[in-house]
Amino acid sequence: MAKINFGGVEEEVITSEEFSLEKAREVLKDEIVVVLGYGVQGPGQALNMKDNGINVIVGQREKSKSWDRAVQDGFVPGKTLFPIEKAARKGTVIQYLLSDAGQVAVWPNIIKCLDKGNALYFSHGFSIVYKDQTGIVPPDNVDVILVAPKGSGRTVRTNFLDGSGINSSFAIHQDFTGRAKERTLALGIAIGSGYLFPTTFEKEVHSDLTGERGVLMGCLAGVMEAQYNLLRKHGHSPSEAFNETVEELTQSLIRLVAENGMDWMFSNCSTTAQRGALDWAPKFRDAVAPVFDTLYKKVVSGEETRRVLEANSAPDYREKLDKELDVLKNSEMWQTGTTVRSLRPENRKKL
């Protein structure tokens, strides 16, 4: 592990310099890694490991779009692609990458497939930490480990193909074999992580649920909508409201934040913008802080996971989600977004 200073706080992290891909291959050379679920994370992790020379099998329910996608991606039915239970029986490392609600539904079948010394791998602390709700309690004679990429499965794959990576946290909940840590790090490197940082299952699920409900998705969508609505209410055109709220952010400013940080972005904007942003940032911070407090409490208490499991276990959960997503999609703001994107020079050329 390398000790790195993060803004004055030292943390131990791992990159492929401390734990090389060659070492990962060596650690995993006798393992059969079974990726259960070919949704969002499944394809990214499975394909990266396969390209890195790891022995990978996919388990996915048959007659589904995800099964067809696995076939298109090169997994061969009966050889490297099997129905979930059949695949689980073949693995020494079982990567449990069904949706979190799916993990609960299928668990009674998976527990029967675990052999002594297997590693049960998660990319989220959800199932283990909220065991009272999920009923997922692994047997004592397996390793229980986690590697959680801090990005969508899609970017796990696209960044890998670009030659970059997504950072991941890792944790060990149960070390039966004495090899849990080396297995975890090897898998973390094999799926193409940028750098790996240690966490616990609890810290991972608490921060992850907060992040996606907060700045990454929920809060972002909420504040964008508030600003767009405000500008529209005061007579600004959809084009003006959208450009000042989303397009300028995604096409310009957030790219600068990604490259050089918020401090650099601030200092490379007009002094008019700097003055205003420095004055208003603390007001927004203080206004949303109580909402974040409530959010974190609801995550820790299990209220959020209860809602997720209830909603996403219903047989018609997909249709219901689609209905809500359609409202967002058909709103003036996001319809404007479709039009604005179609007018980008690179998209106009395609018309």
Ligand X SMILES: NC(=O)c1ccc[n+]([C@@H]2O[C@H](COP(=O)([O-])OP(=O)(O)OC[C@H]3O[C@@H](n4cnc5c(N)ncnc54)[C@H](OP(=O)(O)O)[C@@H]3O)[C@@H](O)[C@H]2O)c1
Catalytic center residues: 124
Structure tokens at 133: 């709700």
Q: Residue 109 interacts with ligand X (CB under 6 A)?
A: no
Q: What's the token pair of residue 341?
A: 């994107």
Closer to ligand X at the Cβ: 47 or 106?
106
38 binds ligand X (CB under 6 A): yes
Beta carbon nearer to ligand X, 99 or 118: 99
Of 22 and 68, which has the nearer Cβ to ligand X?
Answer: 68
User: Binding segment for ligand X among 101-109, 247-255, 268-276, 327-335 (CB under 6 A)?
Assistant: 101-109
Q: Shortest approach of ligand X to residue 168 CB, angstroms?
A: 9
What is the pattern of x (binds ligand X, CB under 6 A) and - over residues 57-96? ---xx--x-x------------------------------
The closest of 152, 146, 140, 157 to 205, measured between CA atoms, is 146
Task: Classify strands 193-198 and 166-174 as parallel, antiparallel or unpaired.
Answer: parallel
Give, in order, the Cα–Cα distances in Å from 173 to each of 61, 101, 133, 208, 300: 28, 20, 18, 17, 18
Question: With binding defined as CB under 6 A, does residue 188 bind ligand X?
Answer: no
Asked if residue 92 lies in contact with residue 143, where contact means CB atoms within 8 angstroms, the answer is: no
Pick the stretch among 121-129, 131-139, 286-294, 325-333 that binds ligand X (CB under 6 A): 121-129
27 versus 191: smaller Cβ distance to ligand X: 191
Nearer to ligand X, 227 or 313 (CB): 313
342 binds ligand X (CB under 6 A): no
By the rule CB under 6 A, 97 interacts with ligand X: yes
From 16, 47, 124, 165, residue interacting with ligand X (rule: CB under 6 A): 124
Shortest distance (Å) from residue 306 CB to ligand X: 16
Exposed, middle or buried by CB within 10 Å (0-12, 13-18, 19+), for 238? middle
| 106 touches ligand X (CB under 6 A) | yes
Residue 289 class from Cβ within 10 Å (0-12 exposed, 13-18 middle, 19+ buried)? exposed
Check residue 98 for interaction with ligand X (CB under 6 A): yes
- Establish if 48 lies at the interface with ligand X (CB under 6 A): no
Three-class secondary structure assignment of 183-224: HHHHHHHHCCEEEEEECCHHHHHHHHHHHHHCCCCHHHHHHH
Which stretch, 149-157, 169-177, 242-250, 273-281, contacts ligand X (CB under 6 A)? 149-157
Question: Which of 173, 131, 116 has the alpha carbon at shortest distance from 184?
Answer: 173
* Identity of the residue, 97 or 129, whose beta carbon is nearer to ligand X in the bound complex: 97
Q: Does 100 bind ligand X (CB under 6 A)?
A: yes
With H, G, I as helix, E, B as strand and everything else as coil, classify residue 235.
coil
Residue 333 CA to residue 339 CA, distance in Å, equals 10
105 binds ligand X (CB under 6 A): yes
User: How far, rounded to the nearest angstrom, does the alpha carbon of residue 97 sit from its chain's CA centroid?
Assistant: 11
Tell me if 45 contacts ligand X by CB under 6 A.
no
> In 74-165, where do the E strands start and end?
81-82, 93-96, 119-122, 143-149
Residues that bind ligand X (CB under 6 A): 37-42, 60-61, 64, 66, 97-100, 102, 105-106, 123-124, 126, 148-149, 152-153
